[in-house]
Amino acid sequence: MGELIVPALSGITLTIEQGQFIAVLGPSGSGKTTLLNIIGGIDRSTTGKISFDKNGEKADLTSLNEKNLTKYRRLNVGFIFQFYNLVASLTAFENVELAAKLTSPSDEARTITKELLEEVGLGDKINKFPAQLSGGEQQRVAIARALAKKPRILLADEPTGNIDSETTGKILKLLQRVNENHRVTIILVTHNVGISTLADRVIYLRDGKIFGTSKYDPAKEKEFWEELTIVPPIDTTG
């Protein structure tokens, strides 16, 4: 930024295994989204190396040209955003089909789209436009769209940051099923400590650096689900 240098990330050393559910936790400005974008091939790192292993063949993302980086994103990475980023003029079916056609023939893409929308519980709303869906339903369309390419990595940037507690629970259970059933590696960015308890491993970021990690604890996950169902008391004094 002119003469000002802002180190978004610094000295990150990290290994993520195939099929893991990873949560990246930290305050605003800690580098969470930057890390996600670099792994996803949206942003490029200034230095360092990002190695992607596909069926024993390793590729260094930092050495790929724009054409091959686009191919990496198209064939390997699915994105879920906080604000859904659906195409407003397309139906739920068309939004998902658009992504499916990137990696599958038209007939197969339609089949994949139908199956995914049924899997996320929207089989009866395939012809609805985004404006006709609730926030949680739009996020489920976004998840189906991210899966339509059959990605190896699913990157989720605050996927529940814009929805209520009940819908948050449904979205998180869906992501758990996706991780288990499709064996997709999930990297989820959040500032919510409770959500991080669902992950196999939590990576804590602060000031662009890793300052700690923790492993999955079933007792903490149980506590999270219990707290999520508690109805807060109504303040009648206001």
Say how far apart CA 187 and CA 231 lie, in whole Å. 29
| CATH level 2 (architecture), domain 21-51+58-86+152-228 | 3-Layer(aba) Sandwich (3.40)
214 token code pair: 């923790």
Provide the CA 55 distance to its chain's centre, in angstroms.
22
Q: Where are the domains of the chain?
A: 21-51+58-86+152-228
Integer-rounded Cα radius of gyration of the chain: 19
pLDDT per position as a tens digit, 158-203: 888 878 888 888 888 989 988 998 889 999 998 888 888 899 999 9
Vertex 88: Cα angle to 163 and 144 (nearest 5): 60
Residue 75: strand, helix, or coil: helix
Task: Kindly give the confidence (pLDDT) of every residue in the chain, 238 residues in length, as a single tens digit, with 9 standing for 90 and above.
Answer: 788 888 899 999 999 999 999 999 988 889 999 999 999 999 998 889 999 987 778 889 999 999 999 999 999 999 998 888 999 999 999 999 999 999 999 999 999 999 999 999 999 999 999 999 999 999 999 999 999 999 999 999 988 887 888 888 888 898 998 899 888 999 999 888 888 889 999 999 999 999 999 998 888 888 888 887 776 555 655 5
